[in-house]
Amino acid sequence: MIVVLTGGTGGAKLVEGLAGEIDPAELTIICNTGDDAVFHGLYVSPDIDTITYTLAGLSDPVKGWGIAGDTFTVLEQLNRLGNDAWFNLGDKDFATHISRTRLMNEGGKLTEITDRIRRLLGVQSTILPMSDDRVETRVTTTQGEISFQEYFVKDRWRAEVTAVHFAGAASSRPAPGVIAAILNAEAIIVCPSNPITSIGPILAVPGIRSALAESAAPMVGVSPIIGASAISGPAHKLMLASGFKASALGVADCYRDFLDMLLVGAEDAALREAIENLDINVIATDIRMADRAHRRRLAREVLALARKWSRKPLSGLP
Amino acid sequence: MIVVLTGGTGGAKLVEGLAGEIDPAELTIICNTGDDAVFHGLYVSPDIDTITYTLAGLSDPVKGWGIAGDTFTVLEQLNRLGNDAWFNLGDKDFATHISRTRLMNEGGKLTEITDRIRRLLGVQSTILPMSDDRVETRVTTTQGEISFQEYFVKDRWRAEVTAVHFAGAASSRPAPGVIAAILNAEAIIVCPSNPITSIGPILAVPGIRSALAESAAPMVGVSPIIGASAISGPAHKLMLASGFKASALGVADCYRDFLDMLLVGAEDAALREAIENLDINVIATDIRMADRAHRRRLAREVLALARKWSRKPLSGLP
């Protein structure tokens, strides 16, 4: 098994590449749920859905979220009915949230429901939420504390952030299968997702970070930051607010206790020495994933590195 | 105020006619909620919605339920996600159910939510659920007991019915405003809805039937049955199963303790004497409402009868 830690959009690109390069049934994807939120009474799990839709071949390649060609009839009517519908949800996407919310209200766990939905959509990879317990990424701004979605979507990350914390993390438990997947992994890949609000919540679930440190699997990360800015999104701002440098070096620092290798942009080759001082090998390469071919190429490079590092051949590889 | 007791489809036609003939703000419509059901975790109130959509000019005139031109993307995707989606719900319609369910889960009462939704959709008439308490129409068939929607929609009323009862009715209370509307009404109109499963649940809420008997308003009903069959739906079958004749006489018998006048089909003029023996006046006329003009004409006739019976002029009338 190849184990992947990921958030949504950026991570989904690498996950798509990986699923194209190896048998997708050999992938176990551990997803951030810190961005999960309840909209209109429905439980929405944006990162799990982005990964599921991506692997089902349903995702919208332009928007980076939702289902390609989806319509917005429900949302428009919710607006007409006086609801503040600032979070975009398509009609097909609503079916996911309606179905999941019903199953949760009937006592189902997010892990079981995620697995049920991915199977129904024909996804062969295992998709695991980081936890079945509610962990909420909260963003403290100079204007007050808001949820991640309020910061990211409603506010379009304009607010000045002073801190990020994960409400509920301390008492949360890793979802069933997460620790075993990490300990038994043949390789672990940390996607180019936001280190603070996508990978951060996963690492904040007690037991996950120590399992990563304990696992013998080679661990390869891809930097979401080139130069001083994230390839997309506010990772650089949130890293600064969390006491890290806004650079690939900062990314390495976030993962210094478990990462073996970090792929950084060719532009960041000068950071090699500083990152290697953290005991992390550096590969400076093309880490942008503009199209499907780029995603496959980067996935091949990540897998080749993992294979080289590993003491035994990886399964699922051609 | 003109007060109307109604179920869904058949009643909605007369309600549409009435709202065209008088100031719609002078109408208070008391709706059956015995058919309400939870689908996919969402609270669906079919009769309230049919009346609301009808008065908002949104209803589908061909299907008799839902919103004209609505799409079915959510339902199709729910099917794909393994849900048994036998109850048709359009995308715009889903917005109603999502909105209502959230408000109910936040502690809102059906009465308030119904009023909020009708106002947002521009409906001037007051729409009242019969009760904020859950009353469920249960149909006993030779195959066992099922909900009304299972009988009516899923089974397409093929099962042989032996009894109908209203679970929860005994401990239910009329919704706020229902008793006052009945006692202060200038006229009360009983729509050509199913006497057992549309008007029956309303009358089963303790206090409503006695308020009707007590109210001084003229009470005019329209038979949903011509000859031995309902104009549409299974009213005749359910009347037989409940110990009533399947005829306009049976309809009169259902309402004998409060009704003043019953409009029956011209075909049923021969029932006049038997119905008048129940102390109910009979008007044999054209009671079919095939199109908008027929609905307006029947509404005019009903209003003229109420006006004639009343000791004072009715408000809202031209």
pLDDT (tens digit per residue) in A74-99: 999 999 999 988 999 999 999 999 99
Of B236, B260, B238, the closest CA to residue B248 belongs to B236
| Sign of the alpha-carbon torsion through B212, B214, B217, B223 | positive
Percent of chain B with pLDDT over 70: 97
By CB atoms closer than 10 A (0-12, 13-18, 19+), residue A177 is: middle
B285 alpha carbon, distance to own chain's centre: 21
Band of pLDDT at residue A312, cut at 50, 70 and 90: low
Residue B161 lies in a domain: no
What stretches of B121-260 adopt beta strand conformation (E)? 126-129, 136-141, 144-147, 161-167, 187-190, 219-222, 225-226, 229-230
Backbone φ/ψ region at A171: left (φ over 0), alpha (ψ -120 to 50), beta = alpha
DSSP B200: H
The pLDDT of A196-208, averaged and rounded, is 98
Mutate to test the interface with B, among A81, A84, A97, A104 (most CBs of B within 10 A): A81
Contacts of A98 in chain B (CB under 8 A): 40-42, 74, 78, 94, 98
Q: B119-168: per-residue pLDDT in tens? A: 999 999 999 999 999 999 999 999 999 999 999 988 899 999 999 999 99
- Indicate the number of domains in chain B: 1
Distances, alpha carbon B278 to alpha carbons B40, B241, B258, B259, B274, in Å: 45, 21, 10, 9, 7
Of residues B41, B75, B96, nearest to A101 (C-beta): B41
Tell me how many degrees the CA angle B7-B8-B10 measures, rounded to the nearest 5. Answer: 95
Residues 98-127 of A with CB under 8 A from B: 98-99, 101-102, 105, 116-117, 120-121
Kindly report the three-state secondary structure assignment for every residue of chain A.
CEEEEECCHHHHHHHHHHHHHCCHHHEEEEECCCCCEEECCEEECHHHHHHHHHHCCCECCCCCCCECCCCCHHHHHHHHCCCCCCCCCCHHHHHHHHHHHHHHHCCCCHHHHHHHHHHHCCCCCEEEECECCCCEEEEEECCEEEEHHHHHHHCCCCCCEEEEEEECCCCCCECCCHHHHHHHCCEEEECCCCCCCCHHHHHHCCCHHHHHHHCCCCEEEECCEECCEECCCCHHHHHHHCCCCCCHHHHHHHCCCCCCEEEEEHHHHHHHHHHHCCCCEEEEECCCCCCHHHHHHHHHHHHHHHHHHCCCCCCCCC
Of A249, A240, A238, A245, the closest CA to residue A197 belongs to A238
The pLDDT of A177-183, averaged and rounded, is 98
Amino acid in position A32: N
Domain extent for A286: 2-40+170-309
Residue A183 lies in a domain: yes
Residues 255-294 of B with CB under 8 A from A: none
ipTM for the whole complex = 0.90
Residue A301 lies in a domain: yes
Minimal Cα–Cα distance from B123 to chain A, Å?
13
Q: Is the pLDDT of residue B312 over 90?
A: no
Residue A274 lies in a domain: yes
The pLDDT of A245-255, averaged and rounded, is 98
Band of pLDDT at residue A313, cut at 50, 70 and 90: low
The continuous run of DSSP H or E covering B281 comes out as strand B281-285
Q: Is the pLDDT of residue B197 over 90?
A: yes
Which residues make Cβ contacts (< 8 Å) with residue A75, sequence separation at least 6?
A: A85, A88, A89, A90, A91, A94, B95
Minimal Cα–Cα distance from B49 to chain A, Å?
13
Minimal Cα–Cα distance from A103 to chain B, Å?
8
Which residues make Cβ contacts (< 8 Å) with residue A62, sequence separation at least 6?
A: none
Residues 62-91 of B with CB under 8 A from A: 70-71, 73-78, 80-83, 91
Least confident of A7-16, A255-264, B256-265: A7-16
Residues 156-185 of A with CB under 8 A from B: none
Minimal Cα–Cα distance from B77 to chain A, Å?
6
Of residues A75, A82, A95, nearest to B120 (C-beta): A82
Q: Is the pLDDT of residue B111 over 90?
A: yes
Q: Tell me whether residues A81 and B102 touch, CB distance under 8 A.
A: no
Mutate to test the interface with B, among A67, A74, A114 (most CBs of B within 10 A): A74
Residue A202 to residue B213: CA distance in whole angstroms: 66
Q: Is the pLDDT of residue B13 over 60?
A: yes
- At residue A253, the pLDDT reads 98
Residue B191 to residue B31: CA distance in whole angstroms: 10
Residue B54 to residue B118: CA distance in whole angstroms: 11
What are the contacts of A265-269 at 24+ separation with CB within 8 A?
A265/A223, A265/A226, A265/A227, A267/A226, A267/A227, A268/A223, A268/A226, A268/A227
- At residue B314, the pLDDT reads 60
Minimal Cα–Cα distance from B39 to chain A, Å?
9
Residue B156 lies in a domain: no
Is the Cβ–Cβ distance between B77 and A91 less than 8 Å? yes
Q: B207-220: per-residue pLDDT in tens? A: 999 999 999 999 99
How many CA atoms does the CB half-sphere of A245 hold within 13 Å? Answer: 15
The pLDDT of B29-50, averaged and rounded, is 97
Least confident of A94-98, A100-104, B25-29, B65-69: B65-69
Band of pLDDT at residue A317, cut at 50, 70 and 90: low
> pTM for the full model?
0.93
| Mean pLDDT of all residues belonging to chain B | 95
Minimal Cα–Cα distance from A148 to chain B, Å?
22
Q: Tell me whether residues A40 and B98 touch, CB distance under 8 A.
A: yes
Minimal Cα–Cα distance from B115 to chain A, Å?
12
Contacts of A81 in chain B (CB under 8 A): 95-96, 99, 117, 120-121
The pLDDT of A8-21, averaged and rounded, is 94
Of residues B70, B74, B101, nearest to A95 (C-beta): B74
Q: How many angstroms separate the most distant Cα atoms in chain A?
A: 60
Q: Tell me whether residues B78 and A95 touch, CB distance under 8 A.
A: yes
Minimal Cα–Cα distance from B116 to chain A, Å?
8
- At residue A316, the pLDDT reads 57
Q: Is the pLDDT of residue B316 over 70?
A: no
Residue B187 lies in a domain: yes
What are the contacts of B119-124 at 24+ separation with CB within 8 A?
B120/A80, B120/A81, B120/A82, B121/A80, B121/A81, B121/B52, B121/B53, B121/B56, B121/B58, B122/B56, B123/B24, B123/B52, B123/B55, B123/B56, B124/B23, B124/B24, B124/B25, B124/B55
Q: Tell me whether residues A74 and B92 touch, CB distance under 8 A.
A: yes
Count of beta carbons in the 10 Å neighbourhood of residue B141:
18
Is the Cβ–Cβ distance between A6 and A15 less than 8 Å? yes
Residue B149 lies in a domain: no
Q: Tell me whether residues B40 and A81 touch, CB distance under 8 A.
A: no
Of residues B74, B82, B102, nearest to A94 (C-beta): B74
DSSP B314: P
φ, ψ (nearest 5 deg) of residue A311:
-85, -10
Residue B163 lies in a domain: no
Minimal Cα–Cα distance from A38 to chain B, Å?
10
Q: Which residue of A has its CA nearest to B39?
A: A102
In what side-by-side order are the strands of the sheet with B281-285?
A: B126-129, B27-31, B2-6, B187-190, B219-222, B261-265, B281-285
DSSP bridge pairs for B6: B31
- At residue A263, the pLDDT reads 98
The CATH number covering residue A217 comes to 3.40.50.10680
Q: B273-310: per-residue pLDDT in tens? A: 999 999 999 999 999 999 999 999 999 999 999 998 87
Mutate to test the interface with B, among A70, A89, A99, A113 (most CBs of B within 10 A): A99
Q: Is the pLDDT of residue A191 over 70?
A: yes
Burial B171-206 (b: 16+ CB within 10 A, else e): ebebbeebbebbeebbbbbbbbbbbbbbbbbbbbbe
Q: Is the pLDDT of residue A64 over 80?
A: no
Q: Which residue of B has its CA nearest to A40?
A: B102
Mutate to test the interface with A, among B44, B52, B67, B73 (most CBs of A within 10 A): B73
Percent of chain A with pLDDT over 90: 91
- At residue B206, the pLDDT reads 98
